[in-house]
Amino acid sequence: MSTIIYEIKDGIGYITLNRPEELNAMNDEMLAELDAVLPKAEMDLDAKVIVFKGAGKDFCAGQDLTGVNTNEVLSEPGEHMTIKKRMEAERRRNRRWEYIFNLAKPTIAQVHGHCLGTGCYLSMVCDITIASEDALFGDPLLRMGLLPHMPLWPYLIGIKKTAEMLYTGCYIDGIEAEKINLINKAVPRDELEDEVDKMARGIALMNCDQTAPLKDAVNSVMEARGLGACWRFTNNMQLVMQQRTMPTEEFNFFKVRDKKGLKTAIDERDAPFKNFCEER
Amino acid sequence: MPTGFGWDFKTQYKEYFYEHNDYREWDFQAAVYDKVNDRIARITLNRPDKRNAFNDCMYEDIGAALHKANDDPEVRVVIIRGAGKHFGAGHDLSSPEGEESPPVHPSVNPTLQDYYGFERRRCYKYDDARDYPKITIAQVHGKCIGASQIFAASCDIIIAAEDAQFGIRGFGSQLHGLTEYPLWPLWSNKAYAGHAVTEMSGKETVDCGFANKAVKLEELEKETLMWAETLSHLPSEAVAVTNEWISGMLDIMGMGGAQRAHYHAHTGLQYVRFRPEEVNMYKDKRDKGLKGFLEDRAKTATATSHAKK
């Protein structure tokens, strides 16, 4: 295992995203390893609470956009796949979030640096998110013509803020994220680890047989408000999104990437929004 | 489909309300449609002497304008704003006979079935604005009360003047809360406040997540245009799908049921019996005129208002 590190210390399980040079971007390999480690962590009696964190300077910059080894993690528009294959891929994608959301064990996301796109989704499906004040949260998927596909957005931050985050794609820092209820708490960067440890050790005092039903009861409130149907609906909308036509005069992220490279594509993607997001 | 009860039956697979209106021959009276540039359309609610209050004509003009903007492939973002000093004062309480926008004139003497028809048609209009496939931005200044607030809420983004006044008045103070729009609790996880707070400033609505940004009045237009300009760069089809995704999730979260509860409560309100000491709009209007009613209502509103001055 190389892109995911799993270790247990003092009753706390740590799952570390480990592609620090790529800002811990998620590629297919990381997903596969995540899929392998999650059931293990869930069953592990020695880990009473799971902490997700990122190696190096960032939590996770989201999907790996290189197009190499990313078939599973990134649904590029215009790919030639049958509806059935796409549907299955979308289901796996959202089932994974749903699985982490419902993991029979309390989960904490320890967020620093970039926390974007699917990285942000990972922090959202955890029960508790504690971040450094200078962490950056955001979901710029729509700028690339991809559907932002985390149904927890409106549940956590409300409708207007959801529209704002997804349409502008602007990043917000930890302090702002705490203010809009996206996370539980923002602390100075050098106190982050201590703060998470304190929280995790506190939760680890509790019996697993207490925390699991409690978590289920809390999540069932979301379920009663329709979250289950929202996952499914999101799958369907992903399919629609992939079938859309791309008007030739509009910016096409994937075409630019293939022609001029990833960095240029990201620069061109963000250019119209740069001033706006800075001034905001 | 006509039902013989004086209202049209709407199937579940309805047209959007704005698609009924053929804008090509439309005579805009209560709203103005213009284009800021190729990519940004603007609807200005234009009854400034009535504080842009909603009447039937206003709804129809907005429908035609939304239709026009939707049919224009260049347009990416639609701004909705009010002419004069206010965004809008809600329903026009002085609406003449025959209007179906509330308050329905007693001379209409609607049956319960008729009334359901009115209510459903109106609530679907807000739903349709919510489902509109392009990005909508409400540019709110001055008063944004009642139905006007609902319309602003149905837009994707609200940019407000800091001193804008959001709120709900109802037909009398005893109806506060009941007439409050069901969007409030869904709109923001922090604001279950709709039931307790009758008025909020633009700044307060941002704090509770109901609006996106509050700026000084003199900067409002510039700020709104900046948002519109920026968002107009998003891929148009992807925006339509994302919009449908968000609206669909809201329906799953109960927005459809909330709408229904809203118009049922509204219908129920038609049959409220007022106690002698309570302000009765219909009676007041008959005996003292609209102004007399507003004065009476203001007295009770002051006594119960939680608004922060």
Distance in Å, alpha carbon of A6 to nearest chain B alpha carbon: 35
pLDDT tens-place string over residues A124-145: 999 999 999 999 999 999 999 9
Residue of B nearest to A246 (CA): B237
B246 and A279 within 8 Å at the Cβ level: the answer is no
Residue of A nearest to B257 (CA): A225
Q: Which residue has the higher pLDDT, B72 or B195?
A: B72
A239 inside 8 A of chain B by CB: no
Residue among B149, B159, B189, B200 with most chain A CBs within 10 A, to mutate: B189
pLDDT tens-place string over residues B42-61: 999 999 999 999 998 999 89
Whether residue B305 has pLDDT greater than 70: no
* Cβ atoms < 10 Å from Cβ of B192: 12
Residues 150-179 of A with CB under 8 A from B: 151, 154-164, 166-168
Specify the pLDDT at position B50: 94
Contact between A108 and A177 (Cβ < 8 Å): no
pLDDT tens-place string over residues B167-200: 776 554 333 333 344 444 444 444 444 444 567 8
Contact between B83 and B53 (Cβ < 8 Å): no
Best CA proximity match to B100, nearest among B37, B54, B52? B54
Whether residue B8 has pLDDT greater than 60: no
B11-20, B48-57, B230-239: the lowest-pLDDT one: B11-20
What separation, in Å, do the N-terminal and C-terminal C-alpha atoms of chain A show?
42
Distance CA A186, CA A180 (A): 12
A160 and B188 within 8 Å at the Cβ level: the answer is yes
Is B65 exposed, middle or buried, given 0-12, 13-18 or 19+ CB atoms closer than 10 A?
Answer: buried
Specify the pLDDT at position A276: 94
Specify the pLDDT at position A260: 96
Q: Which residues of B touch A (CB under 8 A)?
A: 135, 156-158, 183, 186-190, 209-213, 226-227, 230-231, 233-239, 241-242, 244-246, 248-250, 252-254
Contact between A258 and B242 (Cβ < 8 Å): no
Specify the pLDDT at position A120: 98
Distance CA A140, CA A166 (A): 7
* Mean pLDDT confidence for B18-45: 90
The per-residue pLDDT of chain B, averaged, comes to: 80
Concatenating the DSSP letter of every residue in B62-114 gives: HHHHHHHHHH-TT--EEEEEESTT-SB-SB-TT--TT--SSSPPGGG---HHH
Contact between B32 and B69 (Cβ < 8 Å): no
Residue of A nearest to B158 (CA): A160
Specify the pLDDT at position B179: 38
pLDDT tier, B16 (very low <50, low <70, confident <90, very high otherwise): low
pLDDT tier, A76 (very low <50, low <70, confident <90, very high otherwise): confident
Q: Which residue has the higher pLDDT, B297 or B142?
A: B142
Specify the pLDDT at position B104: 77
Strand partners, B167: B145, B199
Q: Which range is most confident: A19-23, B59-63, B237-241?
A: A19-23
Specify the pLDDT at position B197: 52
Measure CB to CB from residue B250 to each of A154, A237, A246 and give the nearest one.
A154
A237 and B237 within 8 Å at the Cβ level: the answer is no
Measure CB to CB from residue A247 to each of B188, B226, B236 and give the nearest one.
B236
B209 and A247 within 8 Å at the Cβ level: the answer is no
Contact between A201 and A9 (Cβ < 8 Å): no
A233 inside 8 A of chain B by CB: yes
Q: Which residues of A fall within a CB distance of 8 Å from B245? A: 147, 149, 233-234, 237
Q: Which residues of A fall within a CB distance of 8 Å from B249? A: 151, 154, 226, 230, 233-234
Specify the pLDDT at position B302: 52
Supply the angle between the helices B112-130 and B56-71 in degrees, to the nearest 10: 30
A74-88, B19-33, B149-163: the lowest-pLDDT one: A74-88
* Mean pLDDT confidence for B271-291: 82
Contact between A24 and A61 (Cβ < 8 Å): yes
pLDDT tens-place string over residues A172-225: 999 999 999 999 999 999 999 999 999 999 999 988 888 999 999 999 988 988
Strand partners, B193: none
pLDDT tier, B303 (very low <50, low <70, confident <90, very high otherwise): very low
pLDDT tens-place string over residues B140-149: 999 998 889 8
Specify the pLDDT at position B174: 37
Which secondary-structure segment (H or E) carries A227?
helix A227-243
Best CA proximity match to A117, nearest among A189, A186, A27? A27
* Mean pLDDT confidence for B143-163: 91
Specify the pLDDT at position B285: 83
CB neighbour list of residue B153: distance below 8 Å, 6 or more residues apart: B126, B181, B183, B187, B210
Measure CB to CB from residue B234 to each of A142, A159, A160 and give the nearest one.
A142
Measure CB to CB from residue A233 to each of B226, B236, B248 and give the nearest one.
B248
Structure tokens at B159: 């940019």
Contact between A12 and A200 (Cβ < 8 Å): yes
pLDDT tier, A249 (very low <50, low <70, confident <90, very high otherwise): confident
Specify the pLDDT at position B139: 98
Rg (CA), chain B: 19
Specify the pLDDT at position B177: 35
CB neighbour list of residue B46: distance below 8 Å, 6 or more residues apart: B30, B31, B32, B52, B83
CB neighbour list of residue A218: distance below 8 Å, 6 or more residues apart: A127
Contact between B140 and B202 (Cβ < 8 Å): yes
Distance in Å, alpha carbon of B117 to nearest chain A alpha carbon: 28
* Mean pLDDT confidence for B75-96: 93
Q: Which residues of B fall within a CB distance of 8 Å from A154? A: 246, 249-250, 253
A33-37, B71-75, B187-191: the lowest-pLDDT one: B187-191
Residue among B156, B245, B250 with most chain A CBs within 10 A, to mutate: B245
Distance CA B256, CA B252 (A): 8
Q: Are strands B165-167 and B213-215 parallel, antiparallel or unpaired?
A: unpaired
The per-residue pLDDT of chain A, averaged, comes to: 92
Whether residue B14 has pLDDT greater than 80: no
Specify the pLDDT at position B21: 67
Whether residue B37 has pLDDT greater than 90: yes
Specify the pLDDT at position B194: 44
Measure CB to CB from residue B158 to each of A160, A167, A244 and give the nearest one.
A160
Residues recorded for chain B: 309
Q: Which residues of A fall within a CB distance of 8 Å from B226? A: 276, 279
Q: The pTM is what?
A: 0.85
Specify the pLDDT at position B46: 97
Rounded to an integer, what is the distance from CA B131 to the centroid of its chain? Answer: 14
Specify the pLDDT at position B173: 39
